[in-house]
Amino acid sequence: MKIYDKCYIDGEWVTPLSSRPFELVNPATETPFATVSLAGAQDVDRAVQAARKAFPAFSSTSKEQRIALLQRIVELMSARESEIEAAVTLELGTPRNVKIHVGAAIASFKQAIVTLQEYEFETHLGGNIVRREPIGVCGLITAWNWPVQLLATKLSMVLAAGCTAVLKPSEFTPVCAILFAQVLHDAGVPKGVFNLVLGDGPTVGNAIAKHPDIDLVSFTGSTRAGVLVAEAAAPSVKRVCQELGGKSANVVLPDADLQAAAAWNVARAFSNTGQSCHAPTRVLVHEHQREELLKLMKDEVKKVRVGDPQDAATTMGPVVNKAQFERVQRYIRAGIEEGARLVCGGLGRPDGLTRGYFIKPTIFADVKPDMTIAQEEIFGPVLAVISYSTEDEAVDIANGTIYGLGGYVFSRDLQHGRAIGARIRAGRVFLNGAPSNTAAPMGGYKRSGNGREMGVFGLEELLEVKAMIGFEAVAA
């Protein structure tokens, strides 16, 4: 069994000043495969000091220097893609043939290069000079469900902006972050610019959020945890950017291609075993088309292969750990007890699987908008199909949760679909299963968070705006 007992601080792998062991469990077998040393608040302070010391020099580097650094990271991540994907399979349970993690991370760094190449940090406005300058030391706290992409999405723009960072990945998926740190070291990221502190939320996450020498916290995780981060950060008046929970609706309009909507929704919602805050977990369909869509969706579920993530035939692996397995089971039970109709799936493991945190791909129909499974984020392969009678009702249902992260519309009519999409209160809205891309801003409305990541909006989250008044003549 492997032992990971170091943090990466100031360009070196160092033993934490305070630590406790944490066992990593393979979610497909329920057996331990490694231990990590979770650090403490003193280690956060040491990392922040290193990042603060490195900031003046790194923030003064040219665009060309930072672009060259980002390009080296892309090359080295690409060379180690298979190794990092294997780590994702081991600690998260993503099937080894479903390569959705590292490629997305590499795409984030490539987007940072494009964004930085095109971005002007100094502009002119009404006779004034307006500068955008790196905000400083950034505390990055990431979730376990996308253990490589989330790191890359945040850090790529941190480096592009000229900031420095202290990263705390989830304690459930730290191996990916350790390999990621090795890539950054080998790419020549200057000492102190990137620091990795392994730990849990109440200790290391809280220390990052409240540290007075951290200028910004970027957090991805649950809404509950996001509130705690914001509360801890408030006394130091630092900027807090959050991507939190979601309960995204897919509004299938009467003029939609039902087969396309069914195939896409099942594939997208069950991708990553449903552990995605953007997953379209509520399917809104006209009452006259409900049974037809349900039949098509049920047929699509038959194509899902749940099992050993090392098996090439597997398309859906386990959820991340026992706590998540039990959480999803509770929601399935709540759906049954509250009167929703179970179309497929249900409680317990799929047939033939006696161990591992595997969930049956589950679809409920006759779901009322106020039911628990229609309101709360489940974070597993569970879909709630909700009927509507008018499009106004569909929009009201889509907007009728505390969340506003993603939205989806299916329609054969572009203008019709666009009109409905414009009414959905969410940070990202997709038409007819359009693929995501790294240029479009990502973030949420309501309790799905604040701030934006990716592209130019993600870069500007990490910059301060400075007005220089009376300097125009000097600049000329």
Active-site annotation holder among 91, 171, 243, 460: 243
Task: Considering only CA atoms, give the Rg of the chain.
Answer: 23
**Residue 345: how many other CB atoms lie within 10 Å:** 20
Known catalytic membership, residue 7: no
- Eight-class DSSP state of 235: G
Quick one: which of 39, 29, 318 has its CA closest to 177? 39
**CA–CA separation, 274 and 346 (whole Å):** 15
Q: Which of 91, 241, 277, 300 is catalytic?
A: 277
Contact, 78 vs 99, CB < 8 A?
no
Instruction: Give the integer Cα–Cα distance in Å for 295 and 259.
Output: 10
Are the C-beta atoms of residues 170 and 466 closer than 8 Å to each other? no
Give the integer Cα–Cα distance in Å for 90 and 81. Answer: 14
- The DSSP bridge pattern shows strands 341-344 and 282-286 to be unpaired
- CB-based burial, 300-328: b 16+ in 10 Å, e otherwise: bbeebebbbbeeeebbbbbbbbeebbeeb
CA 234 to CA 211: how far, in whole Å?
10
Token code pair at residue 309: 């993530």
Buried b (16+ CB within 10 A) or exposed e, 148-166: bbbbbbbbbbbbbbbbbbb
Whether 337 is catalytic is no
Q: Which residues are catalytic?
A: 243, 277
